[in-house]
Amino acid sequence: MASGQSRVARLVMSVSARDHVQGPPTAPATLVEYGDYECPFCGQAYPIVKAVQARLGPRMRYVFRHFPLSEIHPRALQAAEVAEAAGAQGRFWQMHDLLFENQPELSDPDLVRYATALGLDVPRVVTDVGEHVYEPRIREDFMSGVRSGVNGTPTFFINGIRHDGPWDVVTLTNALLAVARVPA
């Protein structure tokens, strides 16, 4: 590579049916986030992503992949497991939202309370989390992030290319619109 050129980080695992996706598959722009439910920066990004989704509507789809930084966020992996357990009962996004909206409260009783509030089969959630049923899936997300150049959270990819710029509402919206080649 010639000096002055930078290597573009690309998503190594394409978005597929295994992913948690909001928005139509035909959307011209896809935002993939590698996130951690205990990460304060992911907590800051959560309402930003919601605002971008509201602005772009069907012009974008949003994918969340787990990247729990367990060494610095000891509750992150278990929170991801609870989100997956909720997903197995058709409530991933509702749990995702609850976890970010209540980020300082991720203790075991809190997680059980969220499962109860969502009307989940709580004994099944507790068993699934206790047996680490979804840990391989979370590990797959994590490793795909590592192979894609993720080294912190949140990390965003827009149409498969890592977004290294700011992730405020205006910047993310404009970046998505630019790759989608659609009018604001």
Strand partners, 65: 34
pLDDT at 6: 57
**Cα(119)–Cα(127) distance, rounded to whole angstroms?**
16
Task: List Cβ neighbours of 116 (8 Å cut-off, separation of 6 or more).
Answer: 122
- Taking Cα atoms as reference points, which of 85, 96, 88 lies closest to residue 50? 96
Task: List Cβ neighbours of 72 (8 Å cut-off, separation of 6 or more).
Answer: none
pLDDT at 88: 98
pLDDT at 92: 98
Domain boundaries, the chain: 24-180
Q: Are 134 and 78 in contact (CB under 8 A)?
A: no
**Cα(107)–Cα(79) distance, rounded to whole angstroms?**
9
pLDDT at 35: 98
CATH class in words for 24-180: alpha beta
Mean pLDDT by 10 residues, the chain (184 residues): 62 95 96 98 98 96 97 96 98 98 97 98 98 98 97 96 95 93 63
CA atoms within 13 A on the CB side of 87: 22
pTM of the model: 0.94
**Cα(15)–Cα(29) distance, rounded to whole angstroms?**
12
pLDDT at 1: 41
**Cα(165)–Cα(171) distance, rounded to whole angstroms?**
8
pLDDT at 118: 98
